[in-house]
Structures are given as C-alpha cells and as structure tokens.
C-alpha cells in the first residue's frame, strides 16, 4: 500500500470510505443516472412516458443496493471502454433492462449528457453527505473538547509570552477560547457551504437536448433536478463545473487546518513549559532510549497531518478552477484525491482529540512560573499611575523593571511609596500579594 491512509491509519479513516472510495464514486454516478432517468421520464417526452411508481421503486433499488460486486462489474466493463462513466452507463442499461417494461427505454439513460454532468453531481452529493455525516461532527467534537478545557480553566492565571518574553498575565481558559472562537467561525462556513451542480450537456448549452426536444425548457429541468440532489445549480458553464465550489471548501478547510496547526504548536509549548502534564498510559513508550520521556506525540501527529491535508486542499483551490477553454481532463485525476485531503484532516482531528484527553493542568507549575516573573505586573502599575496623572509613569516603570532583577517585595515597596489614592494602592498591592 502506497498511502498510510490505506495501511497504518485505515481503521481511523475508514468512516470516509462510503463517500470517497472508487466504489462510492461509482455508486453515486449510478444514483445520479437513475434519478436523471426518472426525472427525464417526467419531462413530457413523447417517446419516453413517465415511469410508474413500481418502476421508480425498482430503479431506485438499483442505486440503493449498489455494492462491491456492482463496482467490480463496472470496473470490468471499464477495462474495455477505458472510460469510467461510459462503463457505468453500459452497466446501468443492463440493470434497467431487467426492470418491468423498461428495456425499450434504456437509450434514455445518459440521454444528452456528458460525463462531467454525472461526475460533478456525483462528487457534489458525496461531499455534502460526508460533511454532514462525518466531517462537521468531527470538527464539532474538537471545538467542544477545547471549550471544556477552557471552561475548566477560566480563572487559571497564566504567564503570557509575547515575542517569547514574559508578558502581562492572562488566563489559560481565555487562551483556549481564542482557538475555539476561530474554529467556530470556520465551522459556521462549512455548515453553510453548498456544492454546486452543472447539467448542461457537452459544452453547457443543452445542444443535444435541444436537438432532440427543442420545445422543452431544459434550463428549468436542469435547475429543478440539481436542486433535488441538494446542490446549488450553476447556470452558465463550459463542459464542466468550474469547481469554484470545491475551491471555496478547500480554502475553508485549509484555514481550519492552519488554526489546528497553531493550536497544536501552542499546546506543545505549554507542555514544554510545564503548564500541562500528560496522563501516563500503561505500556506506552516515549523514547526508545530515554525511559523518562512522555512525548506530545499526538499533537505532533496532528500538526503533520493538518499540513498534509492543507497541501492537497491548496492544490485543489489553485488548480481545479482553471481549465483550458471548454475543458481539459487534468481536473479528473486531481479530484480523485479529494478523499485523501479529508482523510488527513480527519486523522489530524482524531490525534488532536486523543492528545487533549491526556492533558492535565499543573497548577503548581503555572503559579511558580508566574511568581518567577513579577516584572510582568509593571503594565498594571504604570496604567494606574497614568490614570492618576503621574507624569512619566511608563518611564518610571521602565527604569524600575527593564533588564533588572525584579522581586515582588521591591514592587510592593515601590507601590507603598506612591502618592495615589489608597483604593488604587490597595488594588495594586492585591495584585502583588
């Protein structure tokens, strides 16, 4: 196996197989063709009367019961046709010919369509279903985990580091909420996303449809059919869906991945600082030579897999919306890796959740780190001085603290000697307690 998603990590991502495997794609193509065939029978075509309720049920059963054996049969046909969608058409004609009184109507399968009419709709419904069933819930679970960590530590004071240097204290809860808020913003966009759909024949102007039935409103037929699949109709196209829909979705997931990388790196740093300890798992080994090691491997794995996912999504966003004139086929081979991008994204989320489940806040280490840097309270002191009109407040604190060894005792003495209201002085001393 060339891909770790099909080997080492298969059990972690196999939940995506019903949406992004070759079998799933063939199944979706069959579903599109079957539903198109049924819709076409109701378009008022003299030579193709509407299918009966019984026939419709049998036709939909073909799509519903599509399985590995069906996919293998299509692959066998493709060995001769060297064309996947044509293989689907031939397979489906044989299947439909066995439905009561429909053998004479099989030429209306794939009627007036180009392969891209089928492919883009198939990809669209698979992606929409994967978002709803797997990807959105997975991202929601991560945001909930981060929220829980934030809620449990909303009042846990933490030393900030700006430019890597000690800075004004924050709270651990707030730092976690920063990432939750960023992810929720992207999650809202994922929820609102709708894949587009194109059905307009070989060059997008219904030329074949109109040649056979010039009086049918094919634009309205196409719009209604695409909406019935849960997709957004694209009115003007070349032979292909321009893929702006997939580019937009790729950009959103790239941002989610980037936020994920930032979160992993921050938590990795917190672990290094001692803010977090990691729960021990019996039997686990952190290093092949250093017995004491408890590595933040889950966050490192998540960071790496977020990066792999983004690399693919970035390529989709840059490449897919560009096609030579009416079309070229370079998009076809690229789209086959959509599931890989989502696979690495899902794998990263799983590693992130696993890492979060092991975190334990070390309150003593946090307090000790904060106590070791009393100089970070200089901002609060100089701001209170400025409030009270003390000239050169910033400069006074700069001289007292910048590059100096600062102690709480020294700061208290400084505050005690200030000529400011007693209430403000008490508030500052409370900070320095």
Full pLDDT tens readout for the chain, 433 residues: 788 999 999 999 999 999 999 999 999 999 999 999 999 999 999 999 999 999 999 999 999 999 999 999 999 999 999 999 999 999 999 999 999 999 999 999 999 999 999 999 999 999 999 999 999 999 999 999 999 999 999 999 999 999 999 999 999 999 999 999 999 999 999 999 999 999 999 999 999 999 999 999 999 999 999 999 999 999 999 999 999 999 999 999 999 999 999 999 999 999 999 999 998 776 666 655 556 557 899 999 999 999 999 999 999 999 999 999 988 999 999 999 999 999 999 999 999 999 999 999 999 999 999 999 999 999 999 999 999 999 999 999 999 999 889 999 999 999 999 999 999 999 999 998 8
List, as one string, the DSSP characters of 363-386: HHHHHHHHHT-GGGGHHHHHHHHH
Q: Which residues of 209-229 are buried (b: 16+ CB within 10 A; e: fewer)?
A: beeebeebebeebbbebbeeb
Running DSSP on this structure, what letter comes out for residue 133?
Answer: I
Say whether 287 is catalytic.
Answer: yes
Dist CA 43 CA 187 (whole Å): 39
Q: Would you state the pLDDT for residue 1?
A: 73
Q: Would you state the pLDDT for residue 248?
A: 98
Q: Would you state the pLDDT for residue 73?
A: 97
Say whether 163 is catalytic.
Answer: yes
418, 349, 347: which is closest to 380 by C-alpha?
Answer: 418
Catalytic annotation, pick one of 104, 287, 330, 357: 287
Dist CA 77 CA 329 (whole Å): 21
53, 65, 51: which is closest to 101 by C-alpha?
Answer: 51
Contact 196, 244 (CB under 8 A): yes
135, 235, 241, 238: which is closest to 195 by C-alpha?
Answer: 241
Which domains can be identified in the chain, with CATH numbers?
A: 11-111 (1.10.275.10), 116-362 (1.20.200.10), 373-431 (1.10.40.30)
Long-range contacts of 68-71 (CB under 8 A, 24+ apart): 68/23, 70/26, 70/27, 70/30, 71/22, 71/23, 71/26, 71/27
The model's pTM is 0.94
Catalytic annotation, pick one of 163, 314, 332, 373: 163
| Distance spanning both ends of the chain, measured CA to CA | 62
């Amino acid at each position: 196996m060339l891909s770790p998603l099909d080997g080492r990590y298969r059990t972690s991502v196999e939940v995506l197989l019903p949406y992004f495997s070759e079998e799933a794609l063939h199944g979706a193509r069959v579903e599109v063709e079957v539903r198109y065939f049924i819709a076409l029978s109701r378009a008022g075509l003299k030579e193709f009367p509407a299918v009966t309720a019984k026939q419709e049920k049998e036709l939909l059963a073909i799509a519903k019961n599509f399985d590995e054996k069906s996919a293998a049969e299509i692959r066998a046909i493709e060995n001769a046709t060297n064309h996947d969608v044509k293989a689907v058409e031939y397979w489906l004609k044989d299947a439909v010919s066995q439905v009561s009184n429909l053998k004479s109507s099989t030429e209306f399968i794939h009627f007036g369509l180009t392969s891209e009419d089928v492919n883009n709709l198939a990809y669209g419904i698979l992606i929409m279903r994967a978002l709803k069933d797997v990807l959105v819930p997975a991202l929601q679970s991560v945001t909930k985990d981060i929220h829980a960590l934030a809620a449990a530590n909303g009042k846990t004071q933490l030393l900030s580091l700006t430019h890597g240097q000690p800075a004004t204290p924050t709270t651990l809860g707030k730092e976690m909420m920063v990432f939750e808020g960023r992810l929720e913003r992207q999650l809202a966009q994922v929820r609102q996303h709708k894949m587009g759909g194109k059905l307009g024949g070989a060059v997008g102007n219904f030329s074949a449809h109109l040649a056979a039935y010039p009086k049918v409103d094919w634009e309205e037929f196409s719009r209604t059919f695409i909406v019935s699949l849960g997709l957004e109709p694209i009115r003007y196209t070349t032979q292909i869906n321009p893929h702006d829909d997939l580019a937009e979705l790729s950009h959103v997931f790239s941002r989610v991945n980037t936020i994920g990388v930032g979160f992993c790196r921050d938590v990795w740093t917190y672990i290094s600082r001692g803010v977090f300890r990691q729960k021990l798992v019996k039997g686990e080994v952190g290093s092949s030579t250093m017995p004491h090691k408890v590595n933040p491997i889950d966050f490192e794995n998540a960071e790496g897999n977020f990066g792999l996912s983004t690399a693919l999504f970035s390529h989709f966003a840059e490449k897919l919306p560009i096609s030579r004139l009416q079309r070229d086929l370079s998009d076809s081979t690229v789209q086959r890796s959509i599931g890989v991008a989502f696979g690495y994204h899902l794998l990263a989320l799983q590693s992130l959740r696993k890492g979060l489940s092991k975190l334990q806040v070390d309150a003593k280490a946090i307090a000790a780190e904060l106590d070791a840097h009393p100089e970070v309270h200089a901002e609060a002191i100089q701001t209170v001085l400025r409030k009270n009109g003390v000239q050169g407040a910033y400069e006074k604190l700069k001289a007292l603290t910048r590059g100096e060894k600062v102690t709480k005792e020294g700061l208290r003495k400084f505050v005690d000697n200030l000529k400011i209201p007693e209430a403000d002085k008490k508030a500052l001393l409370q900070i320095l307690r």
